[in-house]
Chains A and B, each alone.
Chain A
Amino acid sequence: MTETMVQLVDVVLLVLLAITGIAVIRTRNLFVAVMLAGIYSLLSAGLFVVMDAVDVAFTEAAVGAGISTVLMLGTLALVGYKESAPTHKPILPLFVVLVTGGILVYGTAEIPPFGGADNPAHKHVAAHYIHDSEEEIGHIPNVVTSVLGSYRGYDTMGETAVIFTAMVGVLLLLSRGPLPKRIFHAGQWHTVKAGTTREDMVAKFGGDAGPDETVKDGPARTEGGADG
């Protein structure tokens, strides 16, 4: 493949990515948005192949286009797929985005040219990894594997710790039962388990209920006032 061809594929993929991104903004159906996000991930995996990052490409295709889409579809099954119409004008976000983008484009003026073999990024340890990893790590042809597993092994261990923390968080969030309720009974608010009715409260505490009882759904607040 000649370099011109590579550049052409690169440009086509970037344009397709931009179109997909704008389609994500415009659609109001979340199912469509999730599918477009999957397409976006797959296109970016193609772009990574063009830019020689094959390991990143298959990770993106498996994790970004696969697992992320499954997770989002699972969420949509629980929360529904309708997005309500935007309530405020897009002027302020558009302004913020244009200013930020302008500053970033201004910043690229000092960036070394794309693809230059003499760029500073290639001068430090990268040459050492490519040269010596085969001997130092033990005949592993894929340099990315050597760096990931050995030279930067602590990095990978930290990543595992992050994933473990996130997993613990997800389990804690999703393994709880329904949220507690607040019930107004005998002149004060009680925080009770979900599913408790006022009759249960009367049976439990006896006596007469207050003037007006209310059962509220939603997050129980310990500091909240009694007024509803």
Chain B
Amino acid sequence: MISFTLFNYWAVIVLMMVGFYTLISRDNLVKKLIGLNIFQTSVIMMYVSIGKITGGTAPILMESGDHGGEVAVDAGHAAVEVLYSNPIPHVLMLTAIVVGVATLALGLSLVVRINEAYGTIEEDEIARKDNAR
């Protein structure tokens, strides 16, 4: 099997650059927003990759809930033996996803507004109309 020490990061960088290219090379504003979304998702993948531990499992504790006070120490001990992936990147990226969709909604409403004002969502045509005015 290939060495996986850095493959994940490189693949994520490729995806990031695909999004970046869409963002800077296309004139269509909706396409730009899709590119921005791809870029953002790849950043999320980067963080989640950092949180992954090989052989680990999702950070949901195996033993929980119904045990009383005196077994709680045991449960805490059991939690050491199961290997959990790092929950912090997951928390941060949950926030990022939701903020990302809020940004997308705002961007799309700007696109709708620009389309009403200029009759087009192609950036070069908008620039042309602005200059001709």
Contacts and interface: CB of A to CB of B under 8 A. Distances in A.
B99 A79 contact: no
Query: Which one of A52, A132, A170, A219 has the greatest number of beta carbons of chain B within 10 Å?
Result: A52
Contacts of A183: none
Interface stretch (A123-131, A195-203, A204-212): A123-131
| Interface residue SS majority, chain B | helix
A77 to B, nearest CB: 10
A186 interface: no
B87 A174 contact: no
Interface string B1-30: 100111111111111111111101111101
A51 B13 contact: no
Interface in B57-114: 57-61, 64-65, 72, 75-76, 79-80, 83-95, 97-106, 108-113
B108 A18 contact: no
Given A101-B17, A141-B60, A148-B91, A53 B116 contact: no
Contact of B102 (A54, A79, A166, A178): A166
Contacts of B112: 75, 78-79, 173-174
A14 B79 contact: no
Contacts of A111: 6, 9
Contacts of B11: 11, 14-15, 17-18
A188 interface: no
B98 A25 contact: no
A16 B117 CA distance: 38
A222 interface: no
Nearest to A126: B86
Given A10-B4, A53-B58, A97-B20, 12 more contacts: A4-B1, A56-B90, A83-B30, A93-B24, A97-B17, A114-B54, A115-B52, A117-B83, A142-B60, A144-B94, A159-B95, A224-B133
Which 6 residue pairs of A and B lie closest in terms of their CB atoms, listed nearest first? A115-B54, A166-B102, A21-B18, A93-B25, A141-B64, A52-B85
Interface of B: 1, 4-22, 24-28, 30-31, 33-35, 37-38, 41, 44-45, 48-61, 64-65, 72, 75-76, 79-80, 83-95, 97-106, 108-113, 115-119, 121-122, 124-125, 129, 133
11 contacts: A7-B1, A14-B15, A47-B45, A51-B51, A52-B85, A55-B90, A79-B30, A83-B122, A97-B24, A129-B87, A178-B116
